Amino acid sequence: MIRKMLLAATLLSGFWASQAQADTTLRFVQTNTSDESLAVLNTLIKKFEAENPGVKVELISIPWDNSFEKFATMIAAGDIPDVAEMPDNWVALYANAGHLENLEPYLEKWEHTKDLNSRALELARKVKDTAYVIPYGFFVKSLFYNKKLFAEAGVAGPPKTVDEFMEAAKKVSALPGKFGYCLRGGSGSFNGWAMMGAAANGDNTFFDKDGKSALGEPGWVAGFQNLIDIYKNGWAPKDAVNWGYKETVAGFYSGTCAMLDQDADALAPMAEHMGADDFGVVPMPKGKDGKAFPVLSYGAWGIMAKSQNKELAWKFLTTIDSPEADPLWTKAVGALPIYTSAEKDPGYADPKYRAWFDTLADKDTTPTLTPSYLPEYGLFAGSTAVKLGQQALLGQITAEELGKQWAEHLTKAQQKYLAK
């Protein structure tokens, strides 16, 4: 009799567990939005829902240019999703605030942890040596250039140095209605400033051992001045002071400006709007001592700590980040893969991808990792740096003042971090 009762209780608990799963809606916030990425995500969501009958995934897509503010507003209002896309400069902010779940226990049991490349695990653990996210891919800046505009302006070929880059921007801008560079002055602009500053400085070290930021030093400031000069001289469109990702990419494929620094995610819109022979992609130009410092960033998935469905959220996360699914996603968003096996994927055989792989292989190129481990960095890069950069472009503050103010913000954050 007791055995029958235990059996019935077990069956009943199993019934209620399956019923609970069947009635579950997983809320998923995603920010890397494009037609290609949404198509891949919707396919993966349908697959997950088919494998988990009754489970519904609610996709909440937030356009990138306003995503920092909109996601922060959601969290502040208690509107917490289960799974969220985490750009690299958000991770420390939300992990240190207790909003992200520690994924180390899940990684210990996951069969594919061993297949991740070392860079993926390194970046996953940038905060407190703990994996609060799993990266889905890496983004490394390279230089897109318009072959037709270069030929029309008498520019012999893609620039290999910053001096050649500045000269090419000047020559193309002499053409009626054309500009040399798709400068990004709005959302996401700090990466461009960082690359130009580090190239002129010959080093991309953000802090000394005491936590003092180097951004106010003459080398960095010289690079900031280069970007200010490009805008001041009219080598970038006037409204570029407010441009984010969409505007710079559209400025390039429309033929408005001849050069753009961007990740491989821009290949898809370029292929849609331009002929394959109309543009090329090369590594970023080199500055002092023949060194280049393209920004390396990453996108990631995380589980929110207040999720009531963490096991199911992990199951969903590993569905969209599996060895089979991740290459589909990285190709859609233009990222480099996180799995060692994916590096041999024929999908990366396109010659234009060579710029990114050559960048990573070049001994004179050091990828720049911004200090996204700082809890204050998300607000700095998403708002403070943008506003100060715009003031510099508009001539309201000098390059020296810009470097000084950025250095003050980052020094305070870094020293606070070191003190802990």
The neighbour count for residue 344, using CB atoms within 10 Å, is 9
pLDDT higher at 1 or 81: 81
pLDDT tier for residue 22 given thresholds of 50, 70 and 90 = low
Cα–Cα dist 32/264, whole Å: 13
How many C-alpha atoms does 217 have within 13 Å on its Cβ side? 19
- At 361 the pLDDT is 77
Query: What backbone phi and psi angles, to 5 degrees, belong to 339?
Result: -100, 140
Q: Tens digits of per-residue pLDDT, 318-327?
A: 999 999 999 8
Cα–Cα dist 249/267, whole Å: 10
Q: Tens digits of per-residue pLDDT, 340-350?
A: 876 677 777 77
Instruction: Tell me which amino acid residue 211 is.
Output: G
Is the pLDDT assigned to residue 301 strictly greater than 60?
Answer: yes
Q: Side by side, which strands form the sheet with 257-262?
A: 179-181, 257-262, 142-146, 279-282
Q: Tens digits of per-residue pLDDT, 217-227?
A: 999 999 999 99
In sequence order, the β-bridge partners of residue 60 are: 29
- At 254 the pLDDT is 97
- At 378 the pLDDT is 87
Cα–Cα dist 287/202, whole Å: 7
Cα–Cα dist 187/163, whole Å: 26
Domain ranges in the chain? 24-139+297-352, 141-295+359-419
In sequence order, the β-bridge partners of residue 18 are: none
Kindly report the average pLDDT of the chain as a whole number. Answer: 90
- How large is the average pLDDT for residues 189-212? 97
Cα–Cα dist 367/140, whole Å: 8
Q: Tens digits of per-residue pLDDT, 251-271?
A: 999 999 999 999 888 888 898
Is the pLDDT assigned to residue 360 strictly greater than 80?
Answer: no
Per CATH, the homologous superfamily of domain 24-139+297-352 is Periplasmic binding protein-like II (3.40.190.10)
Cα–Cα dist 12/103, whole Å: 31
Q: Lowest-pLDDT range, 21-25, 193-197, 284-288, 308-312?
A: 21-25
CATH topology of domain 141-295+359-419: D-Maltodextrin-Binding Protein; domain 2 (3.40.190)
Please give the model's pTM, rounded to 2 decimal places: 0.75
Q: Lowest-pLDDT range, 5-9, 118-122, 318-322, 364-368?
A: 5-9
- How large is the average pLDDT for residues 376-386? 93
Cα–Cα dist 247/236, whole Å: 12
Is the pLDDT assigned to residue 60 strictly greater than 90?
Answer: yes
pLDDT higher at 89 or 364: 364
Cα–Cα dist 165/284, whole Å: 9
Q: Tens digits of per-residue pLDDT, 160-183?
A: 999 999 999 999 999 999 999 999
The neighbour count for residue 119, using CB atoms within 10 Å, is 16
Query: What backbone phi and psi angles, to 5 degrees, belong to 94?
Result: -80, -30
Cα–Cα dist 396/155, whole Å: 33
- How large is the average pLDDT for residues 285-305? 94
